[in-house]
Amino acid sequence: MSTPDPFYLRYYSGHSGRFGHEFLEFDFRVVGDGRSAVARYANNSNYRNDSLIRKEMCVSSLMVQEIKKIIKESEIMKEDDTKWPQKNKDGRQELEIRLGSEHISFETAKIGSLVDVNESEDPEGLRVFYYLVQDLKALVFSLISLHFKASHASTGFLAGFLLTNMVDQANLSVAITDERHELMRSFSEASGVS
């Protein structure tokens, strides 16, 4: 059996302010023989005394393939962050991806909207980053929602695991491939996330 290509993705967005260190972070790491990956999510907000939220789940190789496809189609691996806005008092974003023999690690300021992108020194490159991050966040929020609704509704771990990994991921892969930006827009409008 051949060894799978290395794959790792990590995104972080955070700042330190009035409510302490607040952040959103998620990552995907292929494990074992490459037939699955571990997805981890953490969200820390001290606003209204909220506590740290951590979630971890297993995703199938089909989901990993879909994430790789999203990354490749975005062409983020060709970008360079040297002309992107530097981290500042409003916080920073980090994106690290290992895809086979390629590796990128970006750091930039938090981006509030496309106005920030268009006013940057590298609007084309930052736009690629901005849309990829929006797509990945929509994917992660959908996976978390689907996974934990399915596993809490089922009477056993196996039923939740099968439902999540066979039905939801197949349907989500189609939705993401065909309507990636529409999904991101609907989620943003519904939750007020920018």
For the stretch 117-156, pLDDT in tens is 999 999 999 999 999 999 999 999 999 888 776 555 544 4
pTM score above 0.75: no
**pLDDT value of position 6:** 87
Residue 185 within a domain: no
Q: Please identify which residue in the block is written with the tokens 């529409």.
A: 182
Residue 159 within a domain: no
**pLDDT value of position 2:** 57
Position 16 confidence tier, pLDDT thresholds 50, 70, 90: confident
Whether the pLDDT of residue 188 is over 80: the answer is no
CATH number of 29's domain: 3.30.1560.10
Is residue 194 within 8 Å of residue 115, measured between CB atoms? no
Q: Of 9, 60, 55, 53, which Cα lies nearest the Cα of 32?
A: 60
Residue 170 within a domain: no
Q: Please identify which residue in the block is written with the tokens 């002309």.
A: 83
**pLDDT value of position 190:** 55
Q: Of 50, 52, 30, which Cα lies nearest the Cα of 41?
A: 52
* Cα separation, 132 vs 112, whole angstroms: 15
Q: Across all residues in the chain, what is the average pLDDT?
A: 81
Average pLDDT over residues 168-172: 48
Counting the structural domains of the chain, the total is 1
Residue 180 within a domain: no
Average pLDDT over residues 80-109: 95
Average pLDDT over residues 21-25: 87
- Cα 136–Cα 52–Cα 64 angle in degrees, nearest 5: 25
Tokens coding 186:
């609907």
The residue range of the domain holding 141 is 7-152
Residue 51 within a domain: yes
Residue 62 within a domain: yes
* Cα separation, 112 vs 161, whole angstroms: 36
Average pLDDT over residues 103-125: 95
Task: Give the three-state DSSP class for 55.
Answer: strand
Residue 1 within a domain: no
**pLDDT value of position 177:** 43
